[in-house]
């Protein structure tokens, strides 16, 4: 029904290949269920993998070229599910791009929690461990709601789906989280999206996956899910539905196979020690840039020699900004009020050479400080994240090619790489960009309509529907099923009122609104009938806010 383009929940906590529990061998025909699934969608690919089948390789190799963390998280989880290395599986290094979205505390959109939960799952599946994964897990724990659950967004109301994925991502979840999940189980044996509402197939499958990671899932929940399978093999979302849902089917296969997410974890090989490099020529500290002699955007530098420097918030540090080394970490120092002297106790990298912990011919002297950047206000520093090295090895270079910074590896054959592109200072300014507006909806395919849900610049959902008797409100509610985000509808004497979406509630004069084809209709969402080709937009703001 929907072409879901946003990742919502997955389970990964345990770094095991395939997690299965003997009491979850299913009576459902899971192989028949697979026959109803596509082989070019990440959840479906993970479902195949949970039964030991590897499909979708060509689809997974295609680049994403996205700025949405959950797009990369879903892709990484699917690649590792079939045993691939998401760093080298396709033309894009999916792990490096995801890590570039980490801001030192959390990953992706700071208003959301689902991308942090899936970030921990995805990075764990790729064999990543250490500071980034630990920081994300701490961030998840620090944002647990008082009822023991987690919601789609920070401060948003809890739901069983996101809570189940948090349980898997944390590896050792608080007992209060398990208690919240238990409260979401109703008399049918299945699990509901929130306690007190009817059970559904998607929520039941996700909770089973989460409880698989925690050790066990109740047999009555498995029975509820099995009873939703139709003769064609697909699984229904709700007991009264007459047709199956591909996404619910994929979730059910994973859950009933006894698996959790990640389906499989791949190892992250440790680089072998590098031989002592040939010293690179020292560049003068005059502030001049040595321009490349040939090629564009670093094409003359062998790809095996360069490691992109990924960072957050800036396309490149603005004029006057500093790159410093604090402990074993590189930081950009923001040009913001109150940050003028931040980092003054640390060595300043002008952009050329690796520096020693104390001083360097291309750095200002280090005076005092703890050496790990703790005394630099968090609002002033932007971590520089990169791959392969905790810090570029002694003698390595930082170069600029086009608008990208690179570390040049110290390995045989790379001794002179990038010499014509090396820099001695931060380049021309690039102002801190304003948050990118949510993209306009792509025209839907023939015989379909599209729906998008956006809070500020945060894309919550984007997908397509086949109109029949859909209203604008009905489409939103169906999208919430496939996207697994919450929709709270209040019925009043004046009609149905959408109070919150994904935990974002009214504040002041701002609330949820809808538009169709860029125009706000003069009838309620529960009344407006959607037609083929319509573009439905749900957006947040005060009266007279323009649709995105």
What backbone torsions phi and psi does residue 38 show, to the nearest 5 degrees?
Answer: -75, 170
The rounded distance, in Å, linking the Cα atoms of 487 and 492 is 16
As assigned by CATH, the class of the 449-541 domain is mainly beta
294-320: burial string, b at 16+ Cβ within 10 Å, e else: eeeebeebeeebbbbbbbeebebbbee
Q: Which of 85-89, 260-264, 265-269, 499-503 has the lowest mean pLDDT?
A: 265-269
- Looking at residue 196, its pLDDT comes to 92
Tokens 């509901």 belong to residue = 192
Q: What percent of the chain has pLDDT over 70?
A: 64
pLDDT (mean) for 47-65? 93
Q: Are strands 535-541 and 449-455 parallel, antiparallel or unpaired?
A: parallel
> Do the beta carbons of residue 117 and residue 140 sit within 8 Å?
yes
Locate the domains of the chain by residue range.
22-256, 282-433, 449-541
- Looking at residue 398, its pLDDT comes to 64
- 22-256: CATH topology is Glycosyltransferase (1.50.10)
- Looking at residue 219, its pLDDT comes to 93
Q: What does the pLDDT look like over 122-162, one tens digit per residue?
A: 999 999 988 899 999 999 999 999 999 999 988 888 999 99
- Looking at residue 17, its pLDDT comes to 31
What backbone torsions phi and psi does residue 204 show, to the nearest 5 degrees?
Answer: -60, -45
pTM of the model: 0.57
């Amino acid at each position: 029904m929907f072409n879901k383009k946003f990742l919502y929940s997955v389970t990964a906590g345990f770094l095991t290949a395939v997690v299965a529990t003997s009491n979850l061998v299913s009576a459902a025909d899971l192989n028949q269920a697979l026959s109803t699934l596509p082989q070019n969608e990440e959840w479906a690919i993970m479902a195949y993998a949970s039964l030991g089948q590897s499909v979708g390789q060509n689809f997974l190799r295609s680049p994403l070229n996205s700025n949405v963390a959950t797009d990369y998280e879903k892709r990484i989880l699917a690649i590792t599910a079939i045993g691939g290395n998401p760093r080298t599986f396709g033309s894009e290094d999916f792990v490096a791009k995801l890590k570039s979205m980490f801001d030192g505390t959390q990953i992706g959109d700071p208003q959301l929690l689902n991308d942090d939960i899936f970030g921990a799952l995805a990075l764990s599946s790729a064999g990543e461990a250490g500071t980034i994964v630990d920081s994300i897990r701490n961030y998840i724990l620090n944002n647990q709601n008082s009822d023991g659950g987690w919601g789609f967004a920070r401060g948003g109301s809890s739901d069983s789906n996101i809570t189940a994925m948090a349980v898997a991502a944390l590896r050792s979840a608080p007992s209060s989280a398990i208690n919240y999940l238990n409260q979401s189980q109703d008399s049918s044996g299945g699990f509901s999206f929130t306690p007190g509402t009817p059970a559904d197939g998607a929520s039941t499958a996700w909770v089973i996956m989460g409880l698989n990671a925690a050790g066990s899932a109740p047999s009555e929940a498995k029975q509820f899910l099995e009873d939703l399978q139709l003769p064609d093999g697909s699984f229904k979302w709700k007991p009264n539905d007459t047709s199956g849902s591909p996404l619910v089917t994929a979730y059910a296969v994973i859950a009933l196979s006894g698996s959790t997410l990640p389906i499989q974890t791949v190892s992250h090989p440790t680089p072998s020690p590098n031989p002592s490099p040939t010293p690179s020529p020292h560049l003068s500290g005059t502030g001049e840039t040595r321009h490349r002699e040939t090629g564009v955007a670093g094409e003359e530098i062998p790809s095996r020699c360069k490691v992109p420097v990924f960072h957050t918030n800036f396309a490149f540090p603005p004029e006057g900004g500093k790159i410093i080394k604090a402990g074993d970490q590189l930081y950009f120092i923001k040009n913001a009020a109150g940050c003028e002297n931040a980092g003054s106790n640390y060595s300043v990298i002008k952009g050329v050479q690796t520096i020693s912990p104390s001083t360097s011919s291309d750095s200002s002297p280090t005076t005092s400080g703890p050496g790990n950047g703790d005394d630099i206000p968090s609002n002033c520093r932007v971590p520089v994240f990169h791959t392969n090295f905790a810090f570029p090895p002694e003698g390595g270079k930082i170069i600029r090619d086009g608008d990208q910074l690179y570390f040049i590896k110290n390995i045989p054959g790379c001794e002179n790489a990038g010499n014509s592109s090396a820099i001695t200072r931060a380049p021309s300014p690039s102002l801190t960009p304003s948050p990118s507006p949510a993209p306009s909806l792509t025209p839907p395919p023939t015989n379909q309509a599209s729906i998008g849900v956006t809070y500020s610049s945060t894309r919550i959902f984007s997908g397509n529907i086949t109109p029949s008797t859909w209203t604008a409100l009905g489409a939103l509610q169906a999208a919430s099923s496939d996207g697994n985000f919450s929709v709270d509808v209040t019925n009043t004497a004046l009609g149905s009122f959408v109070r919150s979406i994904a935990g974002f509630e009214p504040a002041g004069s701002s609330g949820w609104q809808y538009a169709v084809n860029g125009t706000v209709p003069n009838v309620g969402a529960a009344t407006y009938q959607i037609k083929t080709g319509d573009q439905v937009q749900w957006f947040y703001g005060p009266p007279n806010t323009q649709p995105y």
